[in-house]
Amino acid sequence: MSLALLVGGVLGPGQLTACSSNSSPSPFVGSSSGSSGAGGDDASTGPDGTSSRPSGSGSSGGTSSGGMSSSGTSSGGTSSGGAAEAGARAEGGADAASSGGSGSSGIVPDGDAGTCAAPTGATTQQTTALQIIDQTRAAMGSPCAAMVPDLNTSAMKHCAYYAANAASSTCAANAHVEVQGCADYVAANFQDRETAAGYTCQPSLTQSCGASEVMAFDDNPTTAIGQWLGSIYHRAPLLDPRMRDFGYGNATGCDTIDLGEGAGSTTPDDVIVSYPYERQTGAGLSFDGALESPTPPVPPAGWPSGYPIHVFMAATTVTLTTDEFGIDGGAQLAHQVVTPQSSQGYLSNAVVLYGNVPLTSKTTYRVHIAGTRATQGYTTTTMAQFDVSFSFTTQ
């Protein structure tokens, strides 16, 4: 049960901006963004291009307890409503329409973003991968992802490379990086492999385009996606409403998904969704962050923590004024919080929180966060207020 992730590359108009990556297919191999260059063995390359493995200490993400946030004090107690319960729907779903509420206040749609299109000319495994991702996205109210043949090609070719070279400490030292001269080499970095396959990503010549790559080592899309969705950094690009182009490849001991923002550049900024989503049942109980690299902030008592909770929103930075997580109608729970700016460049367009201890089975929990989000676009930065509240029930 191994994963590898490369996330946060930005494809600018007419060119590919280099993105860093991580190494070694340990159970979760992490994410990064920024300057070009692969992380060293079992290391991560940070946004400044330096190679280091984050310590995973709580200081990188902030700790919350009883309604306290890393940036301020909440009102305390359990939220009684907020925009998430105002009946509003996001504008970005396949058939979603606004029915009240302010986009600037934040929206968590009720789910069912519509029926997502089935891919054509895809393998059985590729079809399965897209169906799982889109069923999850539709349930949470996120716009559908589209399977792009060029991304299928880049993902398939990278898995062919990995399978051919998995036994070589030189050729497969970093699961994401291909080494020239090794069998089935295409290009060192995933952005260049996507370009070589014909993928351009850009919705227009004036919009940048984010890109990511995630890997697992099962040759099974169902198993791999289950692992990705059960993590923090690996889940993020698969469910981000702004990441819309998708391709899956597989080979012996390899699963790769290559992603590009594509049409997601035009996803309205007021689309805010969560996973677990509003009224979801059967949510997970725990997460072992020691198996993810870079290691998320470690709870005071260590791993496992509670199941990760993502709130996806267009955001380069997030300042929280309310940060509450607890039993619905009951006690607040101490938890960790990771924002885009506290993640050392490994997370974008999302706030993540997770309880310091595993959750309790058959229990309904409520999340309430509010504050200000800033989104740095290609030429401008926009600010917006948000106020989001939702509940989910564990398995």
Task: Please tell me whether residues 260 and 139 are part of one structural domain.
Answer: yes
User: Does residue 71 belong to any structural domain of this protein?
Assistant: yes
Of 18-22, 234-238, 260-264, where does mean pLDDT reach its minimum? 18-22
**pLDDT at residue 25 greater than cutoff 70:** no
Residue 204 confidence class, pLDDT cut points 50, 70, 90: low
Q: Which of 266, 288, 311 is the last residue of a domain?
A: 266
Please indicate, yes or no, whether residues 121 and 242 belong to a single structural domain of this protein.
yes
Q: Residue 384's domain is classified under what CATH number? A: 2.60.40.1220
Shared-domain flag, residues 255 and 385: no
Has residue 40 got a pLDDT over 60? no
My answer on whether 277 and 363 are in the same domain is yes
Assess if residue 200 is contained within a domain: yes
Cα 113 to Cα 83, 105, 252, 273, 392: the distances in Å are 18, 20, 34, 11, 18
Residue 103 maps to a domain:
no
The predicted model gives 94-117 an average pLDDT of 41
For residues 162-174, average pLDDT: 96
Residues 38 and 161 in one domain: yes
Domains: count for the chain: 2
Domain co-membership, 45 together with 182:
yes
Same domain for 259 and 189: yes
**175 within some domain:** yes
Q: What is the pLDDT of residues 231-240, one digit of tens each?
A: 999 999 999 9
Phi-psi map region of 256: left, alpha, beta (phi>0 left; psi -120 to 50 alpha): beta
What confidence category does residue 324 fall into, taking pLDDT thresholds of 50, 70 and 90? very high
Q: How far apart are CA 329 and CA 344, in angstroms?
A: 34
Comparing 195 with 9, which gets the higher pLDDT?
Answer: 195
Q: What is the pLDDT of residues 345-360, one digit of tens each?
A: 889 899 999 999 999 9
Pair (255, 374) in one structural domain:
no
Query: Same domain, yes or no, for 178 and 224?
Result: yes
Q: Which of 266, 281, 310 is the last residue of a domain?
A: 266
Within this chain, do residues 241 and 340 fall inside the same structural domain, yes or no? no
Domain CATH code at residue 253: 3.40.33.10
Domain assignment present for residue 87? The answer is no
Does 108 map to a domain? no
Domain that holds residue 286: 58-81+269-394
Cα→Cα distances 270→94, 105, 309, Å: 15, 8, 19
Backbone torsion region of residue 376, taken as left when φ is above 0, otherwise alpha when ψ lies between -120 and 50, otherwise beta: beta
- Do 258 and 246 share a structural domain? yes
CA distance 136 to 381: 30
Least confident residue range of 16-30, 258-272, 342-356, 378-392: 16-30
The predicted pLDDT at position 265 comes to: 77
Quick one: 131 exposed, middle or buried, by C-beta within 10 A (0-12, 13-18, 19+)?
middle
Q: Of 239, 266, 293, at which residue does a domain stop? A: 266
Average pLDDT, the chain: 75
Strands 309-312 and 28-29: unpaired
Residue 88 maps to a domain? no
Same domain, 133 and 25: yes
Q: Is residue 86 part of a domain?
A: no
